[in-house]
């Protein structure tokens, strides 16, 4: 019976699994933010190229 109690106490005191879950959550949050930023930057770049294209077509006879 003492072995089971010792095992339960060791399991409760072990923080390796909790740390791994925290790092996973942080990594997923960073991924979501990066995806959102990439989409916004892509839209801005597209608008810049469309502006340049429109300037060329406006000056071409």
Three-class SS of 1-42: CHHHHHHHHHHHHCCHHHHHHHHHHHHHHHHHHHHHHHHHHH
Q: How many domains does the chain have?
A: 1
- pLDDT, residue 21, reads 82
- The answer to whether residue 4 is domain-embedded is no
* pTM recorded for the entire structure: 0.52
- The answer to whether residue 25 is domain-embedded is yes
Per-residue pLDDT of 41-53, as tens digits, reads 999 999 999 999 9
Per-residue pLDDT of 8-42, as tens digits, reads 777 777 766 677 788 889 999 999 999 999 989 99
- The answer to whether residue 6 is domain-embedded is no
- The answer to whether residue 7 is domain-embedded is no
The residue segments making up the domain with residue 34 are 15-58
1 pLDDT more than 70 = no
């Amino acid at each position: 019976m003492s072995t089971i109690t010792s095992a339960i106490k060791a399991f409760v005191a072990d923080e390796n699994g909790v740390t791994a879950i925290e790092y996973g959550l942080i990594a997923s949050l960073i991924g979501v933010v990066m995806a959102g930023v990439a989409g916004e930057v892509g839209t801005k770049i597209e608008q810049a190229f469309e502006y340049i294209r429109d300037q060329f077509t406006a000056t071409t006879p």
